[in-house]
Structure 1
Amino acid sequence: MPALVLVEVSIHNPELYEEYKKHTLATIQLYGGRFVVRGVKTESLEGNWNPERLVILEFPDVETAKNWWASPEYSKAKAIRYEAANSKMLVVESN
């Protein structure tokens, strides 16, 4: 069953975050993933949720998404993201 990774990002170092973005696509593709949403404008319909940046990824399944997140290929990019931004990330099964 496909899985989605939802990421809410608050960037505090935009230049460094641009470096992070350069490293992510190849790692996502290596694990059969793709961007569904990448940093587009959002509008809250309910509650107090207005992410600065929202990213949604799709992977073949939850296990593959988790393997991508923990992979050596993504570790360099992840370290850059940790320096450049604060993030919240969820993985969910998709119907």
Structure 2
Amino acid sequence: MAAYLIADVDITDAAVFEQYRLEVPATEARFGGHYLARGGATRVLEGDWEPHRLVIIEFPDMAALTAWYDSPEYERLKQIRFRCAHTRIIALEGMPA
């Protein structure tokens, strides 16, 4: 069953974040991940949420998502992201069709 990484990214250093943004897709692809949405316009329909840059990545399953997130390849990129953004990330397991 598919799993989704949903991130709300508040970029604090755009130049450093650009390095992260350019390198991360290749690491996700190795684990079967692909973008469903990233960085598009948002509209809050209910509540007091003020999203920044939203990203949704689909993985084949939660095991693949977790393997990517915990991988040495992504660990290096996480350290870059920690320096240039404040991020809220959740993993959501999909429902069978």
Question: Is TM more than 0.5 here?
Answer: yes
RMSD of equivalent CA atoms: 0.7
Quote the residue 1:60 is aligned against: 60
Quote the residue 2:90 is aligned against: 90
TM-score (ref. length: structure 1)? 0.97
Quote the residue 1:28 is aligned against: 28
Unaligned runs of 5+ in 2: none
Residue pair 1:43, 1:50 contacting (<8 A) in 2 also: no
Look up the SS of the partner of 2:44 in the other structure. coil
Look up the SS of the partner of 1:42 in the other structure. coil
Q: In percent, how many aligned pairs have the same letter?
A: 38
Report deviation, 1:73.
Answer: 1.1
Give the AA of the match of 1:12: T
TM-score (ref. length: structure 2)? 0.95
Give the AA of the match of 2:39: G
The answer to whether residue 2 in structure 2 is matched with residue 2 in structure 1 is yes
Number of equivalences: 95
Look up the SS of the partner of 2:19 in the other structure. helix
Give the AA of the match of 2:58: E
Report deviation, 1:22.
Answer: 1.2
Runs of 4+ in 1 over 6 A off after TM superposition: none
Give the AA of the match of 2:53: R
- 2: CA distance, partners of 1:24 / 1:34: 11
Report deviation, 1:50.
Answer: 2.1
Report deviation, 1:49.
Answer: 1.1
Unaligned runs of 5+ in 1: none
- 2: CA distance, partners of 1:82 / 1:23: 15
